[in-house]
Chains A and B, each alone.
Chain A
Amino acid sequence: MVLVFVETENGKVRKAALEAVYYGYLTAQKLGTSCQALLLGNAEDATSLGLYGATLVHQNDSISFNFFDNQVYSAAIAQAAKKLEASVVILSHSSNGKSLIGNVAYLLDAGSVSAAIDIPETDKGFSVRKGVYSSKALVNIEINTTVKVVSVLGNSLQISVVGANVEVQPITLDVLQPGIKVLSVDKLQSNVTPLPEAERVVSGGRGLKGPENWGIVEELADVLHATTACSRPVSDADWRPHHEHVGQTGIAIRPNLYIAIGISGAIQHLAGVNNSKTIVVINKDPEAPFFKSANYGVVGDLFDIVPKLTAAIKNLNA
């Protein structure tokens, strides 16, 4: 059986979790087994996990799951996997999933691959593909253990409906007492899709000349229902918040569309974004290295071009 750990936010299943369930479903199909989901805490839409391939949802709603404690969550996931005799455990490669994978794998004596971008190859063995060297190469990794743990990189596969709503069943687990205390959670703009999950991202660099000019970036993001991001110099200068910084030291993303405005494309920036499916680069310098990684390039004054692009997309949507 393939067991998928489902992450939630504000009492709902996260988009990354739907992708993980769908990945689990496709993996289970290949292995000729079923895909089941594990929910720690509550999600009002848990039954809908069936739509993406879960045949059953196991739920434990202990109050210990109200805050994220790596030890508490890892122990619960490993325990559920043992109890349900899962041969594969799937996690989302989110900030919590990245924290969990090593811990869960150790507890299950399992080999693990994080940030998988494809369904495992199961013809002979169990091999998983992921990006390495900051996306400059790909690697296929064979997991040699009976139980396997895989985390799925966000936006790696297009989910589709393959089933119907399913039952949510309680599961009894020995839940640990938290060893840490979460003092506060500071979330900004909860109505915006978080960067790692965003399908479209509009990103600004030093070419914007100052934080007061970000209006044109936000307006373009708005018409595209995109999330805004920025380059490192911009977050270092405090023009934009630290959590918007994409690149090697910031967040690595993989949206369908990445629009880079006034970003030259230093190798450290590219390392975080060059997995994007379509890249648009707008820059006044025709020699900007970013153009080499772009699908579409516009050379010119961004203050003139960006509002025109916003208007053109509005027109298209009208």
Chain B
Amino acid sequence: MKLLVCISKTPDTTAKIAFNGDNTKLETAGITFIMNPYDEWYALVKAIEIQEKWGGSVSVLHVGPSENDSIIRKALAIGATDAYRIDTEAVSADQVAFQMASFIQQHAFDIIFTGKETIDYNGAEVGGRMAAQLNLPFISFASHLDIVAENEAVVKRDMEGGTETIQVNTPFVISAAKGMAEQRIPNMKGIMTAKSKPLNVVTPQKYSPKISIVSHELPPAKKAVQYIDPENMAELARLLREEAKVI
């Protein structure tokens, strides 16, 4: 099977968030960037598991400048076969989806994976936009994926208070949530071979993004916690009703 995993770059989960002077861009000094965890832990590892069982290849696709190559190399070290980097800054979900889908249209992939969302803009839009442009089925928030035949999969999808089990034929687009696979740490052999795996640079298509960032702000500071005597839960109940007005 020819599998494709779309990966993006995000600030580390524990990063302290601040913005530049006019609040339009993230202040990147002191921030460690990582591969978006949903892309890495669930989408990429699941694709590698399928390739290990069914053969074929796992390609990774990324939109970003060459300074992001270290993230792509990590995906190769974890076990991807080869990589493609579309050489332009990622500015919006619609732009990233357009660039990726335009690349995918020139190739034939059986399954196109994304993470369920990125941990920076938390939009969950790229998968659906790509599926629409490619005119393929899109299954979101998949927690299980079983290949049952060469061109057929059974997928479990998370939804409010439960799961749905879906049968789908390849090709399709899928977004991966927790449960799909277990995180893999690259080993020394993987890191060494990653250096010689192909990382192809792709020229971007012309495109004008459909949204623009006006400004960022930090949420208002929280008031200091009010401690309640553990022996006086009547007081907490009263505060929840009269002060917080939530019960």
- Residue B137 at the A interface, CB < 8 A? yes
Which residue of chain B lies nearest to A98 when distances are taken between CB atoms in the complex? B124
Known: A102-B128, A115-B122, A249-B37. A143 touches B137 (CB 8 A): no
Are A242 and B225 in touch, CB under 8 angstroms?
no
Tell me, in angstroms, the Cα distance from A316 to B15 when the chains sit together. Answer: 42
Are B211 and A112 in touch, CB under 8 angstroms?
yes
- Residue A164 at the B interface, CB < 8 A? no
Are B225 and A139 in touch, CB under 8 angstroms?
no
Interface size on A, residues (CB 8 A): 97
Are A183 and B165 in touch, CB under 8 angstroms?
yes
Binary interface encoding of chain B residues 157-183 relative to chain A, with 1 for a CB under 8 A from any of its CBs, else 0: 111111111111000100001110000
Are A187 and B13 in touch, CB under 8 angstroms?
no
- Residue B217 at the A interface, CB < 8 A? yes
Within 8 A of B (CB), among A289-316: 291-301, 304-305, 308-309, 311-313, 315-316
Task: List B residues at the A interface (Cβ < 8 Å).
Answer: 11, 13-15, 17, 19, 37-38, 93-94, 97, 117, 119-133, 135-141, 143, 154, 157-168, 172, 177-179, 208-219, 222-223, 225-228, 230-231, 233-234, 236-241, 244, 246-247
- Residue A84 at the B interface, CB < 8 A? no
Are A299 and B227 in touch, CB under 8 angstroms?
yes
Tell me, in angstroms, the Cα distance from A197 to B128 when the chains sit together. Answer: 23
Are A292 and B225 in touch, CB under 8 angstroms?
yes
Are B126 and A102 in touch, CB under 8 angstroms?
yes
Name the residue in A248, A277, A293, A296 with the highest tally of chain B Cβ atoms < 10 Å from its Cβ.
A296
Known: A70-B137, A297-B228, A304-B230. 12 other contacts (CB 8 A): A70-B139, A74-B128, A101-B128, A102-B126, A102-B129, A112-B211, A142-B214, A181-B167, A187-B161, A292-B222, A298-B228, A309-B237
Task: List A residues at the B interface (Cβ < 8 Å).
Answer: 68-71, 74, 94-96, 98-107, 110-115, 127, 130-145, 179-190, 192, 194-197, 199-200, 224, 242-243, 245, 248-250, 252, 256-257, 267-268, 271, 277-278, 280-281, 291-301, 304-305, 308-309, 311-313, 315-316
User: Could you tell me the distance in whole angstroms from the C-beta of A88 to the nearest C-beta in chain B?
Assistant: 14
Chain B contacts of A187 at CB under 8 A? 161-162
Known: A242-B178, A292-B225. A95 touches B233 (CB 8 A): no
Are A305 and B233 in touch, CB under 8 angstroms?
yes
User: Could you tell me the distance in whole angstroms from the C-beta of A193 to the nearest C-beta in chain B?
Assistant: 9
Are B133 and A141 in touch, CB under 8 angstroms?
no
Known: A111-B94, A140-B215, A189-B161. A145 touches B247 (CB 8 A): no
Known: A188-B161, A195-B160. A71 touches B228 (CB 8 A): no
Contacts between the two chains (Cβ within 8 Å), count: 275
Are A181 and B162 in touch, CB under 8 angstroms?
no
Q: List 14 A-B contacts (CB under 8 A).
A: A69-B137, A71-B136, A95-B157, A106-B97, A113-B211, A142-B212, A179-B137, A189-B161, A243-B161, A277-B246, A281-B225, A295-B222, A316-B234, A316-B237
Tell me, in angstroms, the Cα distance from A240 to B217 when the chains sit together. Answer: 36
Are A141 and B219 in touch, CB under 8 angstroms?
no
Are B236 and A296 in touch, CB under 8 angstroms?
yes
Are A103 and B161 in touch, CB under 8 angstroms?
no
Which residue of chain B lies nearest to A255 when distances are taken between CB atoms in the complex? B246
Are A311 and B233 in touch, CB under 8 angstroms?
yes
Are B123 and A115 in touch, CB under 8 angstroms?
yes
6 interchain residue pairs of minimum CB distance: A102-B128, A111-B210, A194-B160, A300-B230, A106-B132, A102-B125
Chain A contacts of B139 at CB under 8 A? 70, 180
Known: A143-B211, A313-B247. A188 touches B227 (CB 8 A): no
Are A183 and B166 in touch, CB under 8 angstroms?
yes
Tell me, in angstroms, the Cα distance from A215 to B131 when the chains sit together. Answer: 44
In-complex Cβ contact of B236 among A70, A224, A280 (8 A): A280
Chain A contacts of B168 at CB under 8 A? 179-181
Chain B contacts of A104 at CB under 8 A? 128, 132
Chain A contacts of B239 at CB under 8 A? 296
Are B210 and A188 in touch, CB under 8 angstroms?
no
Are A102 and B124 in touch, CB under 8 angstroms?
yes
Tell me, in angstroms, the Cα distance from A298 to B140 when the chains sit together. Answer: 39
Known: A102-B124, A132-B122. A111 touches B141 (CB 8 A): no
In-complex Cβ contact of A103 among B129, B160, B213 (8 A): B129
